[in-house]
Amino acid sequence: MKIYNSLTNKLEEFKPLKPDKITIYICGITPYDTTHLGHAFTYISFDVLIRYLRFKGYQVIYTQNVTDINDRDKDILEKAKQQKIPWNRLADYWTEKFLEDMRALNWTFPDHYLKASEQIPSMIRLIRKLIKNSLAYQIKGSVYLDISEIKDFGKLSKLTKDQMLKVAKDFEEDLDNPEKKNPLDITLWRGSTPSQASHIPSFNSPFGKGRPGWHIECSAMSMSTFGETIDIHGGGSDLIFPHHEAEIAQSEAATGKIPFVKYWMHTGTVSYKGAKMSKSKENLVMVSDLLKKYSANALRFLLLSNHWRNNWEYKEEDLQKAQKNVELIESVIAASEAESDSAKRPESEDIPKAFTEIMDQDLDTPKALEFLSKFPSARMFDILGFRLEK
Ligand SMILES: [Zn+2]
């Protein structure tokens, strides 16, 4: 099987670290709002990857996180303050809403689904390692990773320093923080201050009370479940910089094991009305709204009719077409099941080589759907994550 690796920018033969066991970490949501189509595209793309690898006989262990706490004041903390509710209640509410939407889409639940706020000891251990290796420094209860010590910083994003500064600024990273030696230094631990507002939580640590940085969370949670290296790390392409670049820097600096991740996979972005779907552009299309009008299979068909690496634009007419296409496949499968021996289950169906060849080529779901439309089969329908029962 070939997979496109964003670290090398090449289509590569997929060779897992261990022959039959694959470790996958996918960056999860920051739970403060509803699941939109961009989220669904990322998580359903990886859902199909996991289903397909399992179909191929691999044991796949899948970890995903929930960023319910991080070093930023905005998002969850700001919204919780506006709504006058505790931050963790807001985070739990939106996590449950996300899971509801994803369950409706027949999403594969991770083997480890980790809340950042419950994994703080592993983050502290990793930060202590970085301090011990003289790669991180402490100032007034905060800890930062010294980027000048990371010689290959930028190897994932391939950005110049000026480009990094620009992207980091758009991401509202704390570039102007006077405690940092270099504006791009990564906040590993944000120390609490005496004047800190009461709605902002504090956790105990050897560095003083505070909270972990967003980027260290995923390094720590990946290592606590899988060890120092993993096969696949995925997420939306907007996470390449700074989030995943920071994860590589922190993880490799702490362990000395290179690479931290063998294959980096980044999904494309979804636009609507000419702009990338985002809260600030007010052009979000919510999964829960679409599911009021269309079936989960139709929505999955639409998502998979776009290759996981491509950027695409949502148009309702495409979802209408997807609904028609998927209903046609469903009706053919239902008719052939009614005809055939009732003891015959989809698991016993042979899968055409043409289908696996398509999927082996960088998980080409748009072509796989074309094939499925020509030759409807319950087993292929199932491998692509569609629900069979009506
Ligand atoms: Zn992450």
User: How confident is the model over 19-66, as pLDDT tens digits?
Assistant: 989 999 999 999 998 899 999 999 999 999 999 999 999 999 999 999
* pLDDT higher than 80, residue 348: no
Quick one: 157 and 248 in the same domain?
A: yes
Residue 243 CA to ligand 1 center (angstroms) comes to 7
Q: Decide: 262 and 291 in contact? Cβ < 8 Å.
A: no
Residue 50 CA to ligand 1 center (angstroms) comes to 18
CATH assignment of the domain containing 226: 3.40.50.620
Residue 171 CA to ligand 1 center (angstroms) comes to 14
Quick one: 205 and 99 in the same domain?
A: yes
Q: Parallel, antiparallel, or unpaired for β 186-191 and 210-212?
A: antiparallel
Instruction: Classify residue 187 by burial, with Cβ atoms within 10 Å: 0-12, 13-18, 19+.
Output: buried
Residue 64 CA to ligand 1 center (angstroms) comes to 9
Quick one: 258 and 304 in the same domain?
A: no
Quick one: 300 and 245 in the same domain?
A: no
**Tell me, what's the pLDDT at 194?**
87
Residue 26 CA to ligand 1 center (angstroms) comes to 7
Residue 344 CA to ligand 1 center (angstroms) comes to 42
Residue 184 CA to ligand 1 center (angstroms) comes to 18
Nearest to 275 by CA among 265, 266, 285, 267: 285
Proportion of the chain above pLDDT 90, given as a percent:
89
Nearest to 302 by CA among 70, 44, 58: 44
Quick one: 301 and 173 in the same domain?
A: no
* Residue 75 or residue 6, greater confidence: 6
Quick one: 299 and 266 in the same domain?
A: no
List the strands of the sheet with 312-313, edge to edge.
Answer: 275-276, 270-272, 312-313
User: Measured between alpha carbons, how far is 308 from 159 in angstroms, rounded to an integer?
Assistant: 23
Residue 24 CA to ligand 1 center (angstroms) comes to 12
94-106 b/e (C-beta count within 10 Å ≥ 16 → b): bbebbbebbebbb
Quick one: 259 and 320 in the same domain?
A: no
Q: How many domains does the chain have?
A: 2
Residue 328 CA to ligand 1 center (angstroms) comes to 38
Quick one: 371 and 249 in the same domain?
A: no
Residue 25 CA to ligand 1 center (angstroms) comes to 9
Using left for φ > 0, alpha for ψ between -120 and 50, and beta otherwise, residue 288 falls in alpha
Domain ranges, residue 337: 295-308+316-383
Residue 290 CA to ligand 1 center (angstroms) comes to 27
Q: Decide: 274 and 67 in contact? Cβ < 8 Å.
A: no
Quick one: 260 and 303 in the same domain?
A: no
**Tell me, what's the pLDDT at 341?**
61
Nearest to 197 by CA among 83, 91, 77: 77
User: Measured between alpha carbons, how far is 25 from 23 in angstroms, rounded to an integer?
Assistant: 7
Quick one: 87 and 232 in the same domain?
A: yes
- For residue 112, the cross-strand partners are 63
DSSP conformation class of 280: T
pLDDT per residue as tens digits for the range 302-340: 999 999 999 999 999 999 999 999 999 999 999 988 887
Residue 187 CA to ligand 1 center (angstroms) comes to 14
Residue 286 lies in a domain: no
**Tell me, what's the pLDDT at 233?**
98
User: Measured between alpha carbons, how far is 288 from 101 in angstroms, rounded to an integer?
Assistant: 6
Residue 218 CA to ligand 1 center (angstroms) comes to 5
Residue 221 CA to ligand 1 center (angstroms) comes to 9
Cα dihedral 131, 239, 120, 227 sign = negative
Please give the torsion angle defined by the CA atoms of residues 266, 272, 276 and 281, in that order, rounded to the nearest 10 degrees. -140
Quick one: 192 and 51 in the same domain?
A: yes
**Tell me, what's the pLDDT at 342?**
55
Residue 184 lies in a domain: yes
Residue 234 CA to ligand 1 center (angstroms) comes to 9
Residue 277 lies in a domain: no
Residue 138 CA to ligand 1 center (angstroms) comes to 23
Quick one: 300 and 192 in the same domain?
A: no
Q: Decide: 135 and 149 in contact? Cβ < 8 Å.
A: yes
Residue 384 CA to ligand 1 center (angstroms) comes to 25
